[in-house]
Structure 1
Amino acid sequence: MTTLDWASTASASVSTTFTTGFSSCHVFLSFTEDTRYSFTCLLDLVLKDRGIKVFMDSKKLWLGEAVGSALLRAIEGSKISIPIFSERYAHSKWCLLELVQIFECYKSKGQTVIPIFFHVTPSDVQSQTGSFAAAFQNHVNNFEPGLVKSWRDALRVIGNLEGSIIGPKV
């Protein structure tokens, strides 16, 4: 299945899960720069073409506003979160912070989470192996143990959810 085929299929399934009275945006995309101009932009375009309101982080969005609080509000206001796990995902402190918030909304509000494994395996995410292991070697030395544990817990649970695997590393 090509990226365009997947994005089109995903938009059809995403659009059928919405309820009326929904605020802010329908879908929150969590991703790193290594997928922004390939898969993520295409997914964003296809979803928007289907009338689905998407929150996709952009440097232009943050003029004059605290990034952290705006991201948390965007995640909480979304019906669906789609973390796009790539080789660089666990290297990003921001992505891991987003993922913890996504995990909290999944547990407390029943938010739908659709993980995408882009050139990584679900076991890399769940067990923090491969590129995720390298990222966590650095995190253990630079962040508080409780924070690192929250990142690991979120990766373990969200990585176990049914999602889509895209790319050659399967």
Structure 2
Amino acid sequence: MVRKNSWPLKVSLLVLLLCAPANAFAQASPAVALRVSGEMPDHLELSVADIAAFPRDKIRVTDDKGAQVEYGGVPVAEILKKAGAPLGKELKGPNLAVGLVARAPDGYRVLFTLTEFDPAFSDRVILLADRRDGKPLDSREGPLRFIVPGDKRHARWIRGVTAIEAMRVK
């Protein structure tokens, strides 16, 4: 069957293509899983793939139900180094008044001091975990979670963390 007047259809399709945003046809960019901002030289927007490229670590801890589990992920100090946070010899004087707020989409926030992440101040490694017992974190815990070994209560083990913001206390 041949249509006599297909011109309006062709024009409509052409207008639709011309009006579509250019990025609608581009390859989708990876979603931002973690934003690092605030009182640091470099702000970061990291995808899951970006986070997986950092040096990784594993820690064995007791979860909130008393079970021994292994979390895998990135020491938060590695991400802070990439953002240019004052660590090591730079972590003195006014830089000791820098705090970090970890945020989750549900509004939960946790405050840390920068010294808690610095290997020169503590042997404890705070982990940005993306795996539990070798498997990706489930939707209740993840996709990213802070694991703070040595805390008796797990209130600072923030689930679903999406942002880290550095703030200077004045």
Return the TM-score normalized by structure 2. 0.25
* Structure number with higher helix proportion: 1
* Structure number with higher strand proportion: 2
Return the TM-score normalized by structure 1. 0.25
Q: Which has more radius of gyration? A: 2
